[in-house]
Amino acid sequence: MKTWIALLTSLLLIGCAAAPPRAPHAAAAFDDALFAPLPALPDAAALMAMTPPMRRFLDERVRPRARRRGERQALLDALATPGELLLAYEAQPTRTAAEAFAERRGNCLSLVLMTAALARELGVPVRLHEVLAAPTIEHSGDLTFIVGHINLALGIELRRTFRGFDPWLIVDFLPGQDLSRQQRQVVDERRVAAMFMNNRAAEEMLQGRPREAYAWLRGAYAQDAGFAPLFNTLGVLYRHQGAFAQAERALRTALTLDPKDAHARKNLELLQRLHLALPQGQEPAPADAVAS
C-alpha cells in the first residue's frame, strides 16, 4: 500500500513585522527517544560565518575597487565578474555561506546567505526578502520538495533622504525573475535559519539519515518555534519511521501554528484515512512522499 504524503521543505518564509505564533504544546511534538543518541544540534551562527578565504577575497578583490565604486557596487561587480565571484544556481544541497563561497554555487537560500555575510563584513546594509510567488516543485528520490524563493536587498547609507530615491537594490539569483513585478516582504533572520535547517533535514532524509534529519529539525525549533513547516517535515520524518501517532501530533502542531497550511492538512487527512483502513493495532508501512 502506498501513502501519498506531501513534504513541505521550502523557502516559504514569514516577515518579521510581528512575533511568530506558538503552539501551546509544540515541544511535545518532539520524541527524542525515537532517534537516540542524537547528534549535536546545528550551530545557527555557522550559517553566515565568515572564513579567512572570504575575508581575503574582500581585502584583495572588493575593497580596492570600493575606493572608487563604493562598497555596494564593488560587491555587485564581483558577483557578476568571471574569475571573481560569478555564482551558479544549484537546487541542492543547501549550503552555508562559507560552503557556497568555496564552491561558487548554491540554491537561492545559500547564495543569499553568502552575499549577506560578505555585505555585512563590508558594512553594507542588508535586508532579506521572501518572494511572494507560487512555489516550484522538485522531485528527488521518493520525496517531493515544494520550494519557495528568497532574495536580498543591499542598501547604502544616506545622510539625508531624497524623494523618490530608493536606497535598496534587489539582488536575485534565480534566473528569469521579473523584479519590477515581484512582490516581496521582509524576512526575519531567525526564520531564515529555521528554513535552512528544515531544508537540511529534508536532505538528510533523502540520504537515509533520520537521526541527523531529526537533529536539524530540533535546531530549527530552537531558532523559531513558530515555524509551522518544520512540524510538517517532522511529521513526514516520523511517518517514514513508522511512528504514526507522533506523525499525527507533529502535523496537528503545524496546523495549530498555521491553519492555512494546505500541505500539513492534506498529510493529516491522508494519514487518518490510511490508519482507518488498517487492521486494529497495525501501523502503516513507510511511504513514498509526493506532492499533493
CATH code for the domain in which residue 76 is found: 1.25.40.10
pLDDT of residue 160: 59
pLDDT of residue 147: 78
pLDDT of residue 14: 33
Q: How many domains would you assign to the chain?
A: 1
Q: Is residue 36 part of a domain?
A: yes
Q: Is residue 106 part of a domain?
A: yes
Q: Is residue 290 part of a domain?
A: no
Q: Is residue 143 part of a domain?
A: yes
Q: Is residue 174 part of a domain?
A: yes
pLDDT of residue 291: 28
**CA 181 – CA 209 distance, rounded (Å):** 40
Strand partners, 139: 144
Strands 184-186 and 126-131: antiparallel
For residue 100, give its domain range. 26-277
Q: Is residue 273 part of a domain?
A: yes
Residues 168-189: tens digit of each pLDDT: 899 988 877 788 888 888 988 8
Is pLDDT larger for residue 85 or for residue 54? 54
Q: Is residue 262 part of a domain?
A: yes
pLDDT of residue 57: 95
What average pLDDT is seen over the chain? 82
Residues 7-51: tens digit of each pLDDT: 433 333 333 333 445 565 788 899 999 999 989 989 999 999 999
Percent above pLDDT 70 for the chain:
80
SS (H, E, C) the chain: CCCCECCCCCCCCCCCCCCCCCCCCHHHHCCHHHHCCCCCCCCHHHHHCCCHHHHHHHHHHHHHHHHHHCHHHHHHHHHHCCCCCCCEECCCCCCCHHHHHHHCEECHHHHHHHHHHHHHHHCCCEEEEEECCCCEEEEECCEEEEECCEEEEECCCCCCCCCCCCCCEEECCCCCCCCCCCCEEECCHHHHHHHHHHHHHHHHHHCCCHHHHHHHHHHHHHHCCCCHHHHHHHHHHHHHCCCHHHHHHHHHHHHHHCCCCHHHHHHHHHHHHHHHHCCCCCCCCCCCECCC
Residues 196-212: tens digit of each pLDDT: 999 999 999 989 999 99
**CA 16 – CA 93 distance, rounded (Å):** 26
Q: Is residue 148 part of a domain?
A: yes
